[in-house]
Chain A
């Protein structure tokens, strides 16, 4: 078991290295320069630009720039081009902001998708199944920002309450409960909108898994024994259908970085996605690079977790 995990970790470290080299090359070879280098300030002189370039090692060969990046990252001294703040600190703060959004939308996805998927499977071909299928397709076909705008517009124009950002501004004077609930309220729209696609995909997946399991012999046997349908579905079928979902838990983690760019931008939610978007706009190479690699690391971590979980949960698989 331990050897298996160790081998997996080693493999993933190698992968991570290759990914970081790839992304590093991609970012530095692309045209365009950090905005600190060509600021909109008309009074910036060529000499000053040259100095800034030197300070950021922009004129060194590519492999050296990579080495500097790794070195600074390891020492925790890697700084953003934009504001000279340590990159790791920035990412960590934004990570903490993204976390509630991520948890809330994961909760919505998982609590809603299972009942819907199971019901659709049980009533295969019935109105519920067909309409839920159609709704699921509709949800994944809407451009996310389109729905967001419509929702924001509706809520603000009808209810006259703020929905943007982590919390309502000017609430510092209010009591703790009010502030907490205010934060919860600000979570509702972005997490719901971020969850819609997930609900659609996951419920479809639950449905097909259930259908797969329901046609298995042991379920038929259980039915033949004359057990109540609920018992058959929820005790016998569901447990086995659940197995693949354990692995999906691990695969969720990377959604923290990439999945939220659009929603965080719309809702001015200061999370990782927005950080990335802003870094891209200002060509803040250290942040873009570290964030991309951070995303890759989360993905690798996710697959590791799901592999291990699968091995633990499914007795048919031996970890060697």
Chain B
């Protein structure tokens, strides 16, 4: 029977065909010998796909990773976390300060204020010995004649449905005569130092209403709103810090076009263009304007004192010639978009975000969504080409699968979990690195809740948790205890602050002293209510989930009842965190290198959808936070940061738990390659920088055919 034979033969043939393919696939050991290119290919596993490969638009870690290879900023951080020039070779800081000539004011001796008089008085004062600090800093001063400015001011109006709505009103402000000071260095106390000359109350009571003109038909209510903002928008005394960048000459983008000052200015303007919806807007918002001095010199003038602002220039620079109006127009024509699509077309819609062109050490080749992104080294990179020829980021959305691919040799690097790292440490095939990063994990208490508003209560809750134990068992030692809001490896962290002791008895004693009593069921009770609250966290982070369970267990032992729940990230933010409808959360922050804590800790940032969602409010801390971000002197910043650290530790708005160590597991065949003058290669074992950056020398990494002996 032919049919019968076929029925039996077909499955057999299919099975044989499928299984024989095994013999064509490279095994872990064989892959390099048959395919030498594999040695100069670096494959990295990533949980998520990139979203948008554009330095001004990306907001996720996968995109940042790729963008970091393809684009380059003006600056970056060196081994010691100090700024280092990349596309900029040199940068200088100075300041321009402005002071209104306030006609209604009088000098301390009673004479009326006018521009020339003000300048003369200050000039003569600077001759005196008591003003020597000031005199050294002042480069020059001049009187600026009055000007008229029209500006849009944001306001809150009543919408048709009665709910408040955001709006704008355009006003004209007749800027009075001003005195402009050129300063060598930025000085946040400049005007305070001038007080003896101009009078202690000079900055107060400026008659703004005389200088402002409203358009017709504005309600008094809105006028009042505008007036309230005027002193903030047009301050009597204004600081304008200035950074001047000298740019590297001869740097080219991957398409061969030369990099110059126009690209820097364009990048800034692209960020500030509201159509582009850049998430970096707040970093660049303090900039007043960017001025091109010559083809390789740019001046950045800031609106106000904001010392972390310079860090924003670590962001990659866009190629103007591929994204300016003309280029966008051409792209629309090429893609034959409809009129409606053209209307809404912006940088977010551009194909550039999927085929980026930068000036970094790697050139973009291909992106298959949710599969991989392929980069190739940029042969004419100004610092010389990288050792790895190809760079792949593979998207593998599962930890287990990543590990399996790592075992099979189809991935060179993935973010190994602590328990996996502990296992790899036993394996002679791999080399391991662990070092501190900039993140930390904490339990944040809603400081507004009466139950949790007392720092003593929060201290007691913190003391009940055995952090050391879970660093040891849960993280396998891949974490370090922290005590405050700054990353441990930055100078802002005060190492003298001692962590909370693990002392459940002491914790209970504190609570008993505060009037809580143990009831029949073993729970703490006061006024007929037991000590009970909810602890929540987001889904998808197993370690946070475990911390939650451990905390629940630990608090149960001191009689505190804690209910736990896990929510989807979006729901977690929207329904709980953004609206402050929670008692306590387990979360983590990834910090920057600057000491600015305004968004996380200042009391003005505790509103809905703001980051101080725990509602931390301490006037002393507020003051320090503001002064730190206005200070340009590192030593003084450090002192204040240490004070702030201690203050926050005193208040325990969070229980600061630990900073996870960043780990990397690599095949021992991957080494650091040094090239001598004669092209001779020498190899060195990969090592992290003192500040813990493992991949700092990535451009010099390569895989060898044999495991080297060091």
Contacts and interface: CB of A to CB of B under 8 A. Distances in A.
Is any CB of A less than 8 Å from a CB of B in the complex? yes
A259 interface: no
B371 A164 contact: no
A38 B280 contact: no
B219 to A, nearest CB: 23
Nearest to A81: B51
A265 B401 CA distance: 9
- Which 8 pairs from chain A and chain B are nearest by CB? A181-B24, A41-B59, A185-B21, A162-B408, A162-B410, A184-B21, A111-B11, A32-B570
18 contacts: A42-B589, A49-B609, A82-B51, A83-B52, A84-B348, A157-B407, A160-B27, A162-B408, A163-B408, A164-B408, A169-B411, A171-B26, A174-B35, A177-B24, A181-B25, A266-B398, A268-B371, A270-B370
A82 B1 CA distance: 57
A64 interface: no
B187 interface: no
Contact of A38 (B37, B409, B574): B574
Nearest to A36: B51
B579 to A, nearest CB: 12
A169 B394 contact: yes
A84 B349 contact: yes
Nearest to B540: A281
B605 to A, nearest CB: 11
B146 interface: no
Contacts of A283: 570
Prevailing SS type, chain A contact patch: helix
Nearest to B396: A268
Interface string B1-27: 101100110110010011111111111
Residue among A44, A114, A170, A178 with the highest chain B CB neighbour number at 10 A:
A170
Nearest to B411: A169
Interface size range on A against B: 35 or more
Interface stretch (A14-22, A135-143, A148-156): A148-156
B571 interface: yes
Interface in B26-63: 26-29, 31, 34-38, 41, 43, 49, 51-52, 59-60
A270 B371 contact: yes
A43 B409 contact: no
A166 interface: yes
A58 B51 CA distance: 20
Nearest to B59: A41
A183 to B, nearest CB: 8
B197 interface: no
A44 B410 contact: no
A161 B37 contact: no
B37 A182 contact: no
Interface in B254-290: 274, 277, 279-283
Contact of B279 (A44, A156, A171): A44
Contacts of A170: 31, 35, 37-38, 41, 43, 392, 410
Given A164-B405, A170-B37, A188-B18, A115 B26 contact: no
B574 A51 contact: no
B160 interface: no
Contacts of B59: 39-41, 44
A111 B10 contact: yes
Residue among B1, B24, B31 with the highest chain A CB neighbour number at 10 A:
B24
A147 B1 CA distance: 37
A171 B35 contact: yes
B594 to A, nearest CB: 13
B370 to A, nearest CB: 5
A177 B23 CA distance: 12
B353 interface: yes
Contacts of A235: 1, 3
